[in-house]
Structures are given as C-alpha cells and as structure tokens.
Amino acid sequence: MAFITCENVSFSYENTSVIRNLNFSVDKGDYLCIVGENGSGKSTLIKGILGLKSPAHGKITRGDGLKKNETGYLPQQTPAQKDFPASVYEVVLSGRSNSRGWRPFYSRLDKQTAIDNIKRLNIEHLLKRSYRDLSGGQQQRVLLARALCASKKILLLDEPVTGLDPIVTEDMYRLIEELNKKENITIIMVSHDIKSSVRYASHILHLNGDETFFGTTDEYIRSPVGKYFFSEDKKNV
Amino acid sequence: MFESIIKMFSYEFFVRAVIGGSLISLCAALLGVSLVLKRYSMIGDGLSHVGFGALAIAAAVNAAAPLEFAIPIVVIAAFFLLRISENGKIKGDSAIAIISTASLAVGIMVATMTTGLNTDINSYLFGSIIAMSQKDIIICIILSIIVIIMFVFFYNKIFAVTFDESFAKATGTKAGAYNMIIAFLTALTITVGMKMMGSLLISSLIIFPAITSMRICRRFRTVVICSAVIAVLCSISGLIISYQYNTPTGASIVITNVCLLIIFSIIGSVSDRINAKRYSKQ
C-alpha cells in the first residue's frame, strides 16, 4: 500500500473549489514534485496531506505504516522567523516535540537525534550560532534538519529554494536528492521551478484546473500539459 | 539614599508592592517572550483595556470582589482576540484596537455615571503603589506559581509553537491549545497586575523585557531568563523611584524599562558589529 493516497479529492476555499477530483498516490522512496501556478491549490493540498484541512470530497489516506505525526515538514519561512532569537540546536531539537506527547522534557535520545541530524546536514559548525545570524541557505538546512528529526520516512517541502541564490539552490536540490536516493526518504516538494522538478523528481503532479496531470517524470515530459509548460520554460531560459 | 531604601522596606505596603510587582512582572515577562515573537503583543494591550472596562463595571455595581468579576471577562476576551487574530474578517490589529478602545470607553462612561472618576478608577488607569492589599498579594503569589509551573512544564512546546506554528501543527502538536494556554495566563496576569501598574501601562510589562533582552541574547533560553531578570529588576527599581519621588508606579516602572532598553540596544548594536566581523573572517 502507498504511503499517501488521494482518492477523488476536492478542496474548496471560501465556497470556490480549488481542486477537483484529484487522484494520486505516493509510494515509499518516491520523489514527487507538485507544480502549478499561484492559486492552483498547492498550499491547500499540502494542508490536506498534513491533515490540517479535510477535503470537501474524497479522502486522503496514509498507509504502509506511516503514522499521522510522522511527516517531516519544511514550511515556507515567515518574516517573524527570520530574526528569531534561537540557537540552531534549539531549533533542530524542536523537531522532536511531536514525539514527546504530554511529557514535557526531551530525552537523551531526542538530543542525540538532533545532533545526528545536524551532523548529517553538515551544519555542526553552526550548532551554537543564532538562527537569525545565518544566511538563507543555512537557515533552510537547519529547518531541514528539524524536519528530519520529526520523520525518517517522508519529507514535505514547501518551496524550499525560494529566495536562495543559484549556487545555494543547486546545493539544496542536491542535498534533497541525496536524502531521497541514499536514505530512501520519500520526498514531496512543492515547487515553482518546473525545470529542476523534471530533473530531480521521479513523479510530477501538475495542478492546472481541469487539466491536472499526475504520473512519472518521463510521462510528464511527453504529456500535452508537460510539453506545453516545458517548452515554454525552455524558451524563457 | 541607602538609608531611605531601608526605611522604604520597613513599610508593609511597600514590601507588598515589591513582592506583588516583581511577581507580576516576572509572569508578564515570561509570557511576553512568546507573545512578542508571535507578533501578538498588542493582545496584552487590548486585554488591559478590557480589564479596565470590567473593573469599572464591577465598581459600579458594587461587586464584592471586583477582581473575581473581571478575570472571567478578560479570559473570554483573550480567547476572542486570539480567534480574530488567527482567522477574522477584520484584520487582527484593527480588531484589537476596536475592542480595547470600546471597552475603555464603556468603562469610563460607566464610572462617571455612577461612582465618578474616584481614586479607585484612577488607580486602575494609572496604577498605584498602595493599591495592593493583603488579599491581592496572595492572589499574585498563587498566580505566579501557576504561570511559572505551566511555563516550565510546557517550555519546549511553547518554543516549538512560537518558532513555527505551521510546523508544530503539521507534526501533531496542538498549537491552538498552547495559544489558548498562553492567552489564558496572559489574561490572568494582566487583570491581577492592573491595580498596581494601571491598565494604560501594563502591556509594557509584557513587551519591554522581551524586546530588551532580544537586543543582546541570541538563544531562546537566554532570552527567557534575561527577560525574567530584567522584569524583576525594573519593577523593584521603578517602585523605589515611585516611592522616592512620589510618581505613579506604572509610569516609573515603564521609565526604568525604557532606560534599560536604550542601554541594551547600544550594547547590542556594538556586539552585532563585533560578531559580524568575527564571522566574516571565517
């Protein structure tokens, strides 16, 4: 059974439906990119997958041993966060708070997990630095480490490269690919960047009103909607 | 100077004011760190005005226990304000302004039509050093014990929810519940502290210590500890000034807070520069 299955899912927002009859599934080890224009319902779908918003119709189910709180999430940064006084360690450790339930303090295992993930993303040298003093790319790495503290199975990334310069963007994509290939972590990424999505993802979900596409990346490139957007994209480069 | 301070502490009302003032400031500062970082600091201001309205009505109907009358009203207002800042049709800041000025107006109308703007009402507005009774002190102590225990117990969750509510929610933390807890404790602190600080100035107890310590501290834990220390120091020195120069308590405490903020800002900008140099060399 797939990790996440969407069956005939529809979402509406203030009485207008943004997503209609959506069907797709994410298996273990997949790298799914969700692309689409602004207002196509990407954020709504993310909320649905996270279980923060229930669909108007249809259902989103989890399977293959994926529990409700086992989704590592990398949200878009808020302006308030960018100058938040917290050390890198404090931020990464907060990724473990979901596993605590009502127990108030972190265990040794929680702290070890945080340190392990900090090492895994090569940000050990930042451990004691303040989050607000870091560059955008470093902040994203810290948030990614926090997401890994919350889940070893699946990561949901909401436009993780927004506002990063090209070199750091490339770095970030490579890091995500590594997590996917080497550690078999399932990736769901919302992206504006169709070109990179096609390059890295195994599956594409293109939200585009009634012409929604879901399939493997190869199928996407050959599909009418993919051809249209991909050639558009090439022209612009 | 030293002698006069010792003399101050020989008065029972002054000792009461110091104990009450420090405890209220401590609670407000702890809650304030989260409220300021979440951009909710105006909720404190709104609640204090609601509290004034409630206390004025309590005085008008001659309620035996005005505080017990006001607390539930302010708590309800806190939940309400939180809801609108999260998902209201009117944007959060204007909604808070509407509610706070409306309750201030209602309070003043009720007060002038019944008891008149007497000393009680005056002290609710501007604060008074002699306002704390024996009973108020006991309420203060109970309240601060509740706030400190809750804060320590939920510290990690409060951090998670303050830093990133959407992440906390996505990973299964009941962010809404923690927001409610913070709003509830804030409502309690404000209502109890209003008598001494005055409703016009009590929100400063929430905002100043957090902002001041953030000038220098770069970790959440140190921000919390530093805010607590600043809050207590400022309220004690403010009370001494208030006694010595016969100035309103609330205003005196705010002034000491302002001075400290200026000092911390200067130190902060200097250390920022040093830091920037150090890391650019790496």
- Which class for A2: exposed (0-12), middle (13-18), buried (19 or more C-beta within 10 A)? middle
Give every CB contact of residue B153 below 8 A, 6+ residues apart in sequence. Answer: A104
Size of interface A-B (CB pairs under 8 A): 90
Sheet holding A4-13, edge to edge: A16-26, A4-13, A57-62
Query: Which tokens hold the place of A182?
Result: 């080497």
User: Is A83 found in the same domain as A48?
Assistant: no
Q: Which CATH number fits the domain that encloses residue B93?
A: 1.10.3470.10
Question: Structurally, how many domains does chain A consist of?
Answer: 2
A-chain residues near B218 (CB < 8 A): 85, 87, 129-130, 132-133
Q: Are strands A4-13 and A16-26 parallel, antiparallel or unpaired?
A: antiparallel
* ipTM of the prediction: 0.86
A-chain residues near B156 (CB < 8 A): 93-94, 97, 100, 104-106
Query: Which tokens hold the place of A39?
Result: 């207002």
User: Is A156 found in the same domain as A65?
Assistant: yes
Q: pTM for the whole thing?
A: 0.87
Checking if the pLDDT of B104 tops 80, the result is yes
User: Is A159 found in the same domain as A146?
Assistant: no
pLDDT tens profile B205-237:
999 999 999 999 999 999 999 999 999 999 999
User: Is A93 found in the same domain as A47?
Assistant: no
Answer whether residue A85 is part of any domain. Answer: yes
pLDDT tens profile B143-185:
999 999 999 999 999 999 999 988 888 888 888 888 888 989 9
Q: Are strands A4-13 and A57-62 parallel, antiparallel or unpaired?
A: antiparallel
Residue-number span of the structural domain to which B270 is assigned: 2-281
User: Is A167 found in the same domain as A63?
Assistant: yes
Coil, helix or strand at residue B282: coil
- Kindly indicate the confidence band of residue A237, based on its pLDDT and cuts at 50, 70 and 90: very low
- Distance to chain A for B136, nearest Cα, Å: 31
Give every CB contact of residue B113 below 8 A, 6+ residues apart in sequence. Answer: B60
Answer whether residue A42 is part of any domain. Answer: yes
Query: Which tokens hold the place of B21?
Result: 């003032």
Helix/strand/coil (H/E/C) assignment for every residue in B10-59:
CCHHHHHHHHHHHHHHHHHHHHHHHHHHCCCHHHHHHHHHHHHHHHHHHH
Residue A12 CA to residue A19 CA, distance in Å, equals 7
User: Is A168 found in the same domain as A235?
Assistant: yes
Are the beta carbons of B218 and A133 separated by less than 8 Å? yes
| Residue B55 φ then ψ, to 5° | -70, -35
* Residue B82 · residue B34 · CB < 8 Å: no
User: Is A170 found in the same domain as A146?
Assistant: no
Residue-number span of the structural domain to which A183 is assigned: 25-70+152-237
State whether the Cα torsion A62-A64-A68-A71 is positive or negative: negative
Q: How large is the greatest C-alpha to C-alpha distance in chain B, in angstroms?
A: 69
Answer whether residue A5 is part of any domain. Answer: no
- Which class for A20: exposed (0-12), middle (13-18), buried (19 or more C-beta within 10 A)? middle
Q: Name the DSSP class of A130.
A: B
- Distance to chain B for A200, nearest Cα, Å: 25
- Kindly indicate the confidence band of residue B274, based on its pLDDT and cuts at 50, 70 and 90: confident
pLDDT tens profile B244-272:
898 888 889 999 999 999 999 999 999 88
Question: Structurally, how many domains does chain B consist of?
Answer: 1
User: Is A177 found in the same domain as A121?
Assistant: no
User: Is A156 found in the same domain as A226?
Assistant: yes
Final residue belonging to a domain, choices A120, A150, A180:
A150
Contact status of A133 with chain B (Cβ, < 8 Å): yes
Are the beta carbons of A73 and B221 separated by less than 8 Å? no
Are the beta carbons of A87 and B163 separated by less than 8 Å? no
pLDDT tens profile B53-83:
998 888 888 766 778 888 899 999 988 888 7
Are the beta carbons of A80 and B39 separated by less than 8 Å? yes
Answer whether residue A62 is part of any domain. Answer: yes
Which residue, chain included where needed, has tokens 């809750």?
B150
* Residue A119 · residue B249 · CB < 8 Å: no
User: Is A198 found in the same domain as A123?
Assistant: no
A-chain residues near B154 (CB < 8 A): 104
Which residue in B226, B221, B209, B217 sits closest to B261, CA to CA? Answer: B209
- Which class for A231: exposed (0-12), middle (13-18), buried (19 or more C-beta within 10 A)? exposed
Final residue belonging to a domain, choices A98, A132, A150:
A150
